[in-house]
């Protein structure tokens, strides 16, 4: 899986954004999986439990790319598999189970993020938020951020459709065909979106670096003054 662990901050946005196509582990349509899906559709809970065991770690990793809080991710994981169980009768058995499951996972993840954003916007207009004055002694949170957190913040600046492709393709190592299956888009569209997403990420990363250098310069000027 293409990753960024252990790289220097300056290398990060260039190394993992140039990954080569490689199929994800364990996402091959096997005869055993077809049998499990058919059995689960017939109401066999043990068969569905085995499908959960096959996919839960990878679904957790994908959702964790969008949401960093592990408790929230765990709650979403339960919701994702519950939704999959409830809608299994709608699954087209001529297709692969993995892309269908990951599409559901990503849709529910974005639904959660939108709810969070709505709550934040609403709180901005609440009486309590109007009276809140930020503590001037609170340090700049970027000082405490590690590389993975920096990447998470920059990814949030990439529009959803492009961010999804970037996460699945470059961070989680899905091949282009599988990203196309998950997002229900053509491979040509995925390749175009990936190129655009990489450009957007690089530009957002560079903007963040420039802001950091400017803030450091301002802070140094204040200290010397």
Token pair for 151: 């990447």
Question: The pTM is what?
Answer: 0.72
**Are 192 and 38 within 8 A, CB to CB?**
no
pLDDT in tens, the chain (225 residues): 233 223 333 333 333 333 333 334 444 457 789 999 999 999 999 999 999 999 999 999 999 999 989 999 999 999 999 999 999 999 998 889 999 999 999 999 999 998 887 776 665 555 544 444 444 443 444 444 567 778 888 899 999 999 999 999 999 999 999 999 999 999 999 999 999 999 999 999 998 888 877 766 655 556 665
Q: Where do we find the tokens 């470059």?
A: 170
Q: Where do we find the tokens 């530009």?
A: 203
**Are 166 and 194 within 8 A, CB to CB?**
yes
Domains of the chain listed by start with CATH number: 28-124 (1.10.1740.10), 146-225 (1.10.10.10)
Question: Read out DSSP for 151-209?
Answer: HHHHHTTS-HHHHHHHIIIIIS---HHHHHHHHT--HHHHHHHHHHHHHHHHHHHHHHH
């Amino acid at each position: 899986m293409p990753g960024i662990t252990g790289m220097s901050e300056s290398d990060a946005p260039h190394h993992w954004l140039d990954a080569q196509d490689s199929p994800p582990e364990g996402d091959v349509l096997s005869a055993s999986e077809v049998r499990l899906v058919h059995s689960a559709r017939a109401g066999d809970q043990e068969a569905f439990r085995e499908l959960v065991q096959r996919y839960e770690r990878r679904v957790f990793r994908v959702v964790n790319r969008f949401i960093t809080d592990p408790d929230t991710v765990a709650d979403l994981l339960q919701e994702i598999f519950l939704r999959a169980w409830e809608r299994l009768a709608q699954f087209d058995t001529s297709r692969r189970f993995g892309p269908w499951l990951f599409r559901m996972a990503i849709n529910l993840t974005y639904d959660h993020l939108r709810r969070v954003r709505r709550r934040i916007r609403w709180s901005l207009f609440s009486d309590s938020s109007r009276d809140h004055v930020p503590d001037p002694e609170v340090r700049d949170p970027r000082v405490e951020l590690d590389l993975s957190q920096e990447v998470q913040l920059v990814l949030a600046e990439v529009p959803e459709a492009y961010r999804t492709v970037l996460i699945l393709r470059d961070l989680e190592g899905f091949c282009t065909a599988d990203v196309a299956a998950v997002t229900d888009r053509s491979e040509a569209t995925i390749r175009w979106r990936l190129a655009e997403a990489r450009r957007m990420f690089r530009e957002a990363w560079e903007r963040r670096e420039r802001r950091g250098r400017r803030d450091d310069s301002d802070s140094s000027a204040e200290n010397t003054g």
